[in-house]
Structure 1
Amino acid sequence: MNVDDLTFDMQNPRMAEFDHGTDEASVIKLLWESMDVRELVQSIAASGYFPHEPLIVACEKGRNVVIEGNRRLAAVKLLLNRQLALDHDWEVPNLKAAALKELRQLPIIESTRKDAWRFLGFKHVNGPAKWSSYAKAKYIADVHREYDIPLSQIAEQIGDRHKTAQRLFRGLMVIEQAEKAKVFDRNDRFNPRFAFSHIYTGLEGDGISKFLGIADSSAESKSPVPKGKLTELKELCLWLYGSKSKKIEPVVKKQAPNLWELNSVLQNREALASLRDNGDLVAATELTRSRTEVFEEALLRAKRELTRARSFLTEGYDNSEDLLRIAGSVAELADDVYSEMERKRSPGRRARLTEEN
């Protein structure tokens, strides 16, 4: 089919997690910047378009929509119209007329979304060309709602043996419920990238799931969070994603270990109160741990830092009196800590113990 007769799929789950325009130039820009179209451009320019990789096309409302192969279509369109690339200073090879002529007609398979969902699901949800977790969830939800197919059947068809489909669906339903209840706005998140995996993974933790009173993933509920827990849902979304308008950063910077630290905090009343008061996940997490564990870790950390400082002393110390006073304060603190530890361990002992004796 002629490339000019093919259009991009605006319902593509992979594009749904990004803000973009609906015109062709905006879609190509998104695909180039976020989905590695550059590599496809170089590959097709060097070797041509592989005929054994046809696009899957659905005829919808008189348009030939590419439901599988949008990145390849973008690469070909850029090679055929280098001006699109030049407008953005993208490097696109200048092909000879014969090569361009071959690219004007691409192999396709005509299908419908309903007929193609099993193949697309296997390839992108559980197969070799995996989408992001959000794109997977969006696709599973679309198939489930559009064709009334149970999640268990979707999981079976795509070779999912770990209830991934159910967990992804539940995560998306929680986000959609939060947005419908106006306790969360995805577009107001602090970071540019929407870390959907935070929510769908976090819901597997006892602390987060009990905090929300959430339904089990097998329930297939469209509103998994009880109405009485919407305030908690608002809090959780703020901790996971922050707020750009309020200039609040998320407390979960990285999924590991921050997500599981948050999960532990939500199971401890004192730690939860601390997090609500000051938004400090590190301080709240310390309240979930034994005092012995925190003390030992702090002592070992202090030793490591002092050892590091000593290794730089010869070349790093410039005879500053201020630094000498700081070292004196550190020594006094160390003496105080040691004296108190010694008193607690053996009140009658006077000789100082070290690691060497």
Structure 2
Amino acid sequence: MSNEIKYIETSKLEFDPENPRFYRLNDRAGSDTAVIEEMLDDESVQDLMLSIGEQGYFPGEPLLVVKKGKKFVVVEGNRRLAAVKLLNGDLVAPKKKEKSVQIILDEALQKPQQLPCLVYDNREDVLRYIGYRHITGVKEWDSLSKAKYLKELSDTFYQGVDKDTLFKSLAKEIGSKPYYVGLLLTSLHLYEVAADANFFDLPMTEKDVDFSYITTSLGYKNITSWLGLEDRTDLVANDLVLDNLNKLFAWFFVRDQQGETIIGESRAITKLNQIVAHDSAVENLIKSKNIEEAYLYTNGQEEALEKALEQAETSLTVVWDMLLKTAKFTERQESHASEIANISRKIKRHIEDVRDDYRDVRKEDR
């Protein structure tokens, strides 16, 4: 192999039928049409087309190819090859992707006809590198790293442009969607506000922040409104409610002695979205620090009470079943049972008194 990078016409570059990405194609792996369909479905080639079409092909990432007669098989870089071949017209998009690809072609400023390549004598010479790159060596940036990179691009190249132009330009830079760029930058702004405030003096550090929780939460309308944001791409955040941002960070990132946060898993953010729409639920969450309990307050007091009573009945039914299978009890268990009985009598007596008063009022009204 020569270490010299050679620029080879894309028409002479072929997809690698043995590429692991194409395992689902079976005997169709040698078909350019089948490969493009596979790439457009699963490999985000359109995002890559946006980036290359805007910025051109970065020469620091040469394709790794093996000579095959008068042509070359691309062992590493098939996704990039697919993007360029679609951009420059070597290949045509399948019918179902034709419109979306054409939009990219209409806006593309760069349509490379040649690509930088490192030529190897045989496929085996490349295999170990491929394993390192895709299995052990190369990791995708996390969302916070992506956001910081986008902010650097914005500050360096796009100062003074309007928000829509900024999002669209940055999306092309990284091969993504404008709304996602806006979401990342807005999430970063909230993160930086909290960091500048020393995370509101909460018992946490920068290492405790899982940035993806912030980006996920901004996908919910109730949460963005509660924070004082216009939407998930409110970069300026003029009406940001700092006290609520403080609460959000406390619920997301402060851990108790058992190492647990109030929110727990990120899927609970769906419940938090309902909680912040009800003042009584927020108050309960602050007091109880229990998201399941606070969630009961999102359906109104009557529905919350009904659910709480049903849960209590279910739990006591389980306890009764366990009691029947147990032959020995402790003094502590007897104390628990006594307290449960006392609370149960109070609940029953209170409900009966209120219902009796209601019936008396109804009689007087008649």
Report the TM range for the smaller structure's normalisation.
0.3 to 0.5
Larger helix proportion of the pair: 2
Q: Which has the higher contact order (CA 8 A, sep 6+)?
A: 2
TM-score (norm 2): 0.46
TM-score (norm 1): 0.47
